[in-house]
Amino acid sequence: MTDNFLKSFSSLRSNNSRNITFQSNTLPSNECSNGVPKDKYAYYSGKGVNPWEVLYSIWNSYQNTIGAQFTLNQATNKAPNTNRNTNTIGPSNIFIIRHGEKNPTLPNYSINNNGIYRACQLMNFINNLAQEGTPISYIVTCNPCPYNTLDPSIRPIQTISMVSFMLNIPVFIFGGSQEFTEIVSQLFSNDPTNPFNGLNILICWEHSSIQALCLNILNEAGKLGRLSINPTNGNPKLYGDAFFKSQNECPDGNYECLVKKSVYYYDPLTSPDYIGPNSKYYPYWNNYNFNSVYHFKSELYTNIFNSFKIYKQPILTCDSNCDLHIGLYQPLNSDTCGSSYLYSTENYCGIPTQSSYPII
């Protein structure tokens, strides 16, 4: 099997840069009711239309879209392990999103009406990616946490289930949201049967672990020679540290934080081994940001990750978003089903500072 597999999509645009902006990241008020999108099905349900008939009709309407057709093409031709005329270990392009909007109070294990509204629009987002030359082959997400844990979340699975169903894209569920090391090692496994080799994937994750997930992705890619940058201090684990310093994709500025009293923002003795001295450049994911996309873009024909893009999903809900992308170390609890240490201003869309960091 050769790269002829993708020739049907050779005419698609390969320039994936975006400048998507909105005057507002919320729906107009006349489209909302009690803070959530209006239910427009009631009109049809009164005319004898069953919900399952509507669901079937929606699925059927998506089968001729470019995303669903790409999935069918892959299944028919047995998707190859190579892409763009080169052998590649690991995915070519990686898109990372967070789960949809959630309930602010318990029980918050699921996404709310606005999150469901977002999830139902993701098919168009995936089709746009295919149209721009980066069709999604696989979706990767994390296991739900049990009800008896601090955060029994099924939010990532809920968010991408509709995309998987409507566009027939397989979903890989590996482990808990903080088991990113094991998951990334699977994505970049040096195994000829690695299903992700040379293909584009969408990752849907918990916000608190996305920073660490990104750093681990870069560290694994760096070990495989897929980064055009060397790690700082000669430490091979810190490819991500050097990459984000060179990219500096944080439009809200770069901030330093304390790890503990009397220690400045970076302490090699207490920080995780994937955190380096340039942590103020790392992308940060705010607690009330459901709207962003992080894109590790692979350079055409060489599959070198040469850029990192942050942009908004072309999706509006009745909730507002913080949309903060600040270079700042985002510490985690050790529990695989725990939550991050939140900055005190995070729930108010304020810019975190050193003084707002909860000392651990």
Q: Which DSSP string corresponds to 30-48?
A: GGEETTEE----HHHHTTT
Mean pLDDT, the chain, whole residue set: 84
- Asked if 201 and 91 count as a contact pair (C-beta separation under 8 A), the reply is yes
288 or 295, which is more confident: 295
Please choose, from the candidates 211, 221, 248, the residue with its C-alpha nearest in 3D space to the C-alpha of residue 329.
211
What is the per-residue pLDDT for 7?
53
> In this structure, is residue 281 part of a structural domain?
no
Is a pLDDT exceeding 80 seen at residue 318?
Answer: yes
Reduced to 3 states (helix: H, G, I; strand: E, B; else coil), residue 127 is helix
Is a pLDDT exceeding 60 seen at residue 59?
Answer: yes
> In this structure, is residue 274 part of a structural domain?
no
What is the per-residue pLDDT for 20?
34
Contacts of 53 (CB under 8 A, 6+ apart): none
Helices 180-187 and 207-223, axial angle in degrees (round to 10): 40
What is the per-residue pLDDT for 19?
37
What is the per-residue pLDDT for 359?
56
Q: What is the mean pLDDT of residues 113-128?
A: 96
- Asked if 259 and 265 count as a contact pair (C-beta separation under 8 A), the reply is yes
Q: What is the mean pLDDT of residues 36-47?
A: 81
> In this structure, is residue 354 part of a structural domain?
no
Please choose, from the candidates 163, 76, 158, the residue with its C-alpha nearest in 3D space to the C-alpha of residue 128.
163
> In this structure, is residue 93 part of a structural domain?
yes
266 or 313, which is more confident: 313
Q: What is the mean pLDDT of residues 151-158?
A: 88
**Confidence category of residue 112, pLDDT binned at 50, 70, 90:** very high
Is a pLDDT exceeding 60 seen at residue 346?
Answer: yes
**Confidence category of residue 11, pLDDT binned at 50, 70, 90:** very low
Q: What is the pLDDT of residues 64-88, one digit of tens each?
A: 999 999 998 888 887 765 444 457 8
> In this structure, is residue 313 part of a structural domain?
yes
**Confidence category of residue 6, pLDDT binned at 50, 70, 90:** low
DSSP state of 15: -
What is the per-residue pLDDT for 352?
79
Q: What is the pLDDT of residues 122-152, one digit of tens each?
A: 999 999 999 999 999 999 999 888 887 777 8
Is a pLDDT exceeding 50 seen at residue 24?
Answer: yes
What is the per-residue pLDDT for 95?
98
**Confidence category of residue 192, pLDDT binned at 50, 70, 90:** confident
Q: What is the mean pLDDT of residues 15-42?
A: 72
> In this structure, is residue 273 part of a structural domain?
no
Total domains present in the chain: 1
List the domain range (segments joined by +) for residue 158. 3-255+287-323
> In this structure, is residue 278 part of a structural domain?
no
Which of 87-91, 95-99, 270-274, 323-327 holds the top average pLDDT?
95-99
Q: What is the mean pLDDT of residues 320-344?
A: 80
Residue 293 sits at φ, ψ, to 5 deg, of -130, 130
Q: What is the mean pLDDT of residues 181-186?
A: 92
What is the per-residue pLDDT for 13?
39
Is a pLDDT exceeding 80 seen at residue 55?
Answer: yes
Is a pLDDT exceeding 60 seen at residue 10?
Answer: no
How are beta strands 200-205 and 136-141 bridged, if at all?
Answer: parallel
The rounded distance, in Å, linking the Cα atoms of 163 and 59 is 10
Give the domain CATH number at 229: 3.40.50.1240
Percent of the chain exceeding pLDDT 90 equals: 46
What is the per-residue pLDDT for 74?
87
**Confidence category of residue 344, pLDDT binned at 50, 70, 90:** confident
> In this structure, is residue 265 part of a structural domain?
no
Is a pLDDT exceeding 70 seen at residue 248?
Answer: yes
